[in-house]
Amino acid sequence: MGAKTSFSPIFESIEPTFGTSFLYKRYDEKRLNNYESLWHYHPELELVYVNSGAGKRQIGSHLSHYRNGDLILIGSNLPHCGFTGALKSDQQETVIQWKPEAFGAGFFDIPEMYNVKMLFEKAKGGIIFHGQTKRDIGAKMESIALQDSCSRLLTLLDIFREMAAATDNYTMLNASHFMLEAKVEDHDRINRVFNFVKENFKGQMSLDEMSNHINMTPTAFCKYFKKITNKTFVQFLTEYRLVHAAKLLHESNMGVSDICYECGFNNYSHFTKKFKEMSGKTPLHYRNELKFALKN
């Protein structure tokens, strides 16, 4: 699952390059994003574009596996990890990060920026963009690498405009905002849960074990977890295992039954049933469909 993480999300300190108001980075197979496998957060908003390929993502309490590249807007202080574990020769990841006040106090309060301001508020729950919007914005993000400073800023503002206008072409990742700006004890506790799952999901985790780990009774933990994530703990753990299974079906040659047990399931029929509920396909059908897509 990548690097071990601490019990709290890592605070990432971000400083723009001298002479710029935002941070722009590009990663490839030789230059990897060291933070992407770590559970971390930062006050800056972050826009991430992966031009192709597959990977896993965890944004707040949302878990999923993407197949054809990715474009995600992550709001201020929203814990996240995932994306590409390793980049292939034809893959690139482009990241833009900016402070909410980067363009001056009150800039996003002017009438012309109202829709952008509302978009940034929604981004506190994480947003994924689809289709042509993803491709168009991704191309603009990549073009910034070749532009002068003024053009870079204008392109970024145009990206903000296009994202705000794409009302029918994006999905909220956390319907009920998962915000780190909750009580300090809440975000510390829930991140202890996430990290414990990340490190132990392949084993036979029990509700008693999980609740004991954060010094709560099982009943109190269940109520707490549902309130914070809008999911039951069993639902979250099952989704985490299924997302990892989808990744292995895509990236490995392991047999489906081996993947079942590798991901923490101890019953193949139950694994198949849950995978079909999540994806609409059996694990074997899902893998065969991927192979067909790669050939064509």
Q: Is pLDDT at 10 greater than 70 in this prediction? A: no
Mean pLDDT along residues 121-141? 93
| Selected residue with higher pLDDT from 184 and 188 | 188
Asked if residue 93 lies in contact with residue 31, where contact means CB atoms within 8 angstroms, the answer is no
Question: Domain 184-295 is in which class?
Answer: mainly alpha
Taking the C-alpha atoms of residue 75 and residue 157, their distance in angstroms, rounded to an integer, is 17
Q: 120 falls in which pLDDT band (50, 70, 90)?
A: very high
Q: State both tokens at 148.
A: 């002068």
In the sheet where 55-59 sits, what is the strand order?
Answer: 10-11, 40-41, 80-83, 55-59, 62-66
Taking the C-alpha atoms of residue 16 and residue 21, their distance in angstroms, rounded to an integer, is 6
Q: 3 falls in which pLDDT band (50, 70, 90)?
A: very low
Where on the phi/psi map is residue 131: left (φ > 0), alpha (ψ -120 to 50), or beta? Answer: left
Following CA atoms 289, 290, 294, 296 in sequence, which dihedral angle do they give, to the nearest 10 degrees?
20
Q: 114 falls in which pLDDT band (50, 70, 90)?
A: very high
Q: Is pLDDT at 284 greater than 60 in this prediction? A: yes
Q: 119 falls in which pLDDT band (50, 70, 90)?
A: very high
Q: Where in the chain is the domain with CATH 1.10.10.60?
A: 184-295
| Selected residue with higher pLDDT from 268 and 149 | 268
* Number of neighbours of residue 32 by Cβ within 10 angstroms: 15
**So what's the pLDDT on residue 6?**
36
Nearest Cα neighbor of 92 from 40, 41, 150, 30 is 30
Q: What is the CA 283 to chain-centroid distance, rounded?
A: 23
Taking the C-alpha atoms of residue 197 and residue 210, their distance in angstroms, rounded to an integer, is 9
Taking the C-alpha atoms of residue 293 and residue 199, their distance in angstroms, rounded to an integer, is 32
**So what's the pLDDT on residue 40?**
76
pLDDT in tens, 261-275: 999 999 999 999 999
Q: Is pLDDT at 5 greater than 50 in this prediction? A: no
Contacts for 98-101 with beta carbons within 8 Å, 24 or more apart?
A: 98/16, 98/21, 98/22, 98/23, 98/44, 98/45, 98/156, 99/43, 99/44, 99/45, 100/43, 100/44, 100/45, 100/76
CATH architecture of 10-172: Sandwich (2.60)
Mean pLDDT along residues 27-50? 76
Asked if residue 177 lies in contact with residue 126, where contact means CB atoms within 8 angstroms, the answer is no
From residue 223, give the alpha-carbon distance in Å to each of 50, 228, 231.
Answer: 36, 9, 10
Taking the C-alpha atoms of residue 185 and residue 188, their distance in angstroms, rounded to an integer, is 5
Mean pLDDT along residues 134-138? 95
**So what's the pLDDT on residue 292?**
58
**So what's the pLDDT on residue 53?**
72
From residue 199, give the alpha-carbon distance in Å to each of 145, 193, 218, 240.
Answer: 37, 10, 20, 11
| Selected residue with higher pLDDT from 158 and 19 | 158
In the chain, the percentage of residues whose pLDDT exceeds 90 is 43
Asked if residue 11 lies in contact with residue 40, where contact means CB atoms within 8 angstroms, the answer is yes
Q: Is pLDDT at 36 greater than 90 in this prediction? A: no
Q: State both tokens at 68.
A: 């054809």
Q: Which amino acid is at 125?
A: G
Q: Where in the chain is the domain with CATH 2.60.120?
A: 10-172
**So what's the pLDDT on residue 266?**
93
Q: Facing residues of 90 across strands?
A: none
**So what's the pLDDT on residue 270?**
96
Q: 14 falls in which pLDDT band (50, 70, 90)?
A: low
**So what's the pLDDT on residue 33?**
62
Residues 6+ apart with CB under 8 A from 131: 169
| Selected residue with higher pLDDT from 150 and 186 | 150
